[in-house]
Structure 1
Amino acid sequence: MADNFSSQILRGDLGGALIPDEISQEIIQTLPQSSVLLTRARRVPMSSKKKTQPVLASLPEAYWVSEGGLKQTSKTGWEDVQITAEELAVIVPIPDSVVDDAKINLWDTVKPLIAEAMGKKIDQAGIFGVDKPSTWGNDILAGATAAGTNVASGTGVDLADDIAMIGQKLSEKGFAVNGFASQPGLNWQLARLRDANGQPIYTPSVAAGNPASLYGYPLNEVANGAWDTTKAMLLAADWTKFVVGVRQDITYKVFDQGVISDTAGNVVYNLMQQDAQAMRVVMRVGFAVANPLTRIAAKGSQYPAGFLTPAASRKAGK
């Protein structure tokens, strides 16, 4: 399923000569910084549209053997989780009439915007199911809700207690939290929290580009616009169970003729008539949650993630 971003009209000349091959590689490197899933999840290369990831579906068992008795056999089963790369794309029209007016390197301005836009769409789809390709399966919030691993804010004595409850639920499912993602600004709520010994449970990052630390694990605030504060405040997870497949085939092409149409087929931009160029950017990415069987949870009840949801969800559940 193709997912086309809204077009952005920018002033300046971004002709093909200004988009060398190394720019494509730079965007590939910049993109993970704009997506919490690409930052924290396990990334796998994809050489084709689909990739199969085996996931443990049954566990071997051991048996006591009496003297002279026969040893029993046990089987280990695996299920396949399929990752399908779907297309993300954006078209950026550029009016020719302002080429001579450009006073800055517009490409340097556009690069992070493209990476941020693509990171936003990936996070929205994978975490909350917004515009999610049907081939991606359940989003993380839907999976955690079905497994009962979410905790509503205010359930415990304070925010720290609520978050610890999520960790407990995941442990009871057989998974260990190794990182968090949250809505923007949650760090300021966490900064005042203390453990039973009066020590801060949250350590703000003092180095640019490094995540903060919550209960000793990295916390990434999702600042690309993907986070839905009406649905969740924080995500706690075993991030190794989130799998992102990236086909590193981000392509760039500049056109000076042609038309841009909306989904209804109406022409919204005519490059020749309106003296403009258009840069088309395309990439393919897939996402899946690997949910292997654990020794603790009943089969089908395990899930490697849980959310801290707004207090309203606690009241609604009463």
Structure 2
Amino acid sequence: MAGYDKQIQRANVPIPETVSKEIIQEAAHGSVVLNNARKVPLSTKTMKQPVLATLPEAYWLAGDTSLKETTSVEWENVVMTAEELAVLVPVPNALIDDTSIPIWSEIKPLLVEAIGSKVDAAAIWGDDKPTSWPTAIVEAATAAGNKVEAGADLTVGVAALGQALAEDGFAPNGFLTRPGFNWKLIGLRGDDGHPIYTPNLVPGQPSALYGIKLDEVLNGAWKTTDPATHLIGLDWKKFAVGIRQDITFDLFDQMVISDAAGKVVFNAAQQDSKVMRVVFRVGFQIANPLTRVNPTKANRYPAAVLTDAA
């Protein structure tokens, strides 16, 4: 059949599966959220997870023949949706042809940084957050009243974070902090004179604040706010991520990259380059189950933030 729209297309150059798996693993370590939140299987785009909404009650009996009352337990579904995160990486042909340069070793750190930073920024601050993801951690914790203003004694503020979580029925098992704030913690001492912060002196071992793991967010995702947010305490068991194992890589030598206005900003063929397209699908969700300590959902949240005074 005659036609004018047929063309010979270059087959996509596949990236080895081992490289794909390495990038997924490294991306998890490059993101504090992917590294610490609870992992759940995500075999489809959406997944429903039941969360306790009402607690059972027990009742005293007035006498030997008193009627026993009934109670109920209810759950509500929390939906996690895998959203697409993508990035284009232009690679000059000279780099590809130069066998002395390990191309994957050069590109992988860039992909890890891009993926980890975007996931953390969306989950913690709400920056470019997919609409299906829940309210960001800092915003939700503040709305629930779990915001502590740092005073002259930082030890008091840090302890107040743990208290805020305990008063909601949660136990902190992790802290997140801005780059450099750990140096403010080094000199802090508890009432008994012991340091409350233990810096990481052994490679591969995390730092600890009051014996709880402390992660410094170094991938560029920590946001400057007013008042400044210095520290976040979390119950990581209530935060969940689901990674779809269908991360894809494609390499194109005829791609044209345009901006939002349609203006061409890069032409692979004209600029003797190839463009690697990476697509990553990940879901994020927060469980805020009913607790005996605080049955009111509006002022209950499994995270608390330490900020400067307003």
TM-score of the two chains, using structure 1 as the length reference: 0.89
State the secondary structure of the residue aligned to 2:142.
helix
Q: Which residue pairs with 2:118 in the alignment?
A: 121
1:182 pairs with 2:177: yes
Structure 1 consecutive aligned stretches of length 4 or more whose deviation exceeds 6 Å? none
| CA displacement at 1:95 relative to structure 2 | 2.0
Q: Which residue pairs with 2:208 in the alignment?
A: 213
State the secondary structure of the residue aligned to 2:132.
helix
Q: Which residue pairs with 1:77 in the alignment?
A: 74
Q: Match for 2:121: what amino acid?
A: Q
Residues 1-318 of structure 1 correspond to what in structure 2 (within 5 A)? 16=13, 19-65=15-61, 66-101=63-98, 103-154=100-151, 157-230=152-225, 231-300=228-297, 301-309=299-307, 311=308, 314=309, 316=310
Alpha-carbon contact 1:262-1:268 (below 8 Å) kept = yes
Alpha-carbon contact 1:183-1:229 (below 8 Å) kept = no
Q: Which residue pairs with 1:7 in the alignment?
A: none
Q: Distance in 1 between matches of 2:66 and 2:95?
A: 87
| CA displacement at 1:75 relative to structure 2 | 0.6
Q: Match for 1:175: what amino acid?
A: F
Q: Distance in 1 between matches of 2:97 and 2:118?
A: 34
Residues 146-170 of structure 1: per-residue CA shift (max 9 Å, x gap) = 111111121xx51111010111111
Calculate the aligned-residue CA RMSD, in Å: 1.6
| CA displacement at 1:98 relative to structure 2 | 4.8
Q: Distance in 2 between matches of 1:16 and 1:280?
A: 11
Q: Distance in 1 between matches of 2:55 and 2:96?
A: 64
TM-score of the two chains, using structure 2 as the length reference: 0.91
| CA displacement at 1:272 relative to structure 2 | 2.0
Q: Match for 2:153: what amino acid?
A: D
Q: Between Structure 1 and Structure 2, how many residues are aligned? A: 295
Residues 215-246 of structure 1: per-residue CA shift (max 9 Å, x gap) = 11100101101011424111101111111121
Unaligned runs of 5+ in 2: 1-11
Q: Which residue pairs with 2:7 in the alignment?
A: none
Q: Distance in 2 between matches of 1:294 and 1:99?
A: 56
Q: Distance in 2 between matches of 1:73 and 1:194?
A: 51
Unaligned runs of 5+ in 1: 1-14
Q: Distance in 1 between matches of 2:239 and 2:250?
A: 32
**Identity percentage over the alignment?**
53
State the secondary structure of the residue aligned to 1:223.
coil
Structure 1 or 2, whichever has the larger Rg, is 2
Q: Distance in 1 between matches of 2:287 and 2:126?
A: 17
| CA displacement at 1:97 relative to structure 2 | 4.2
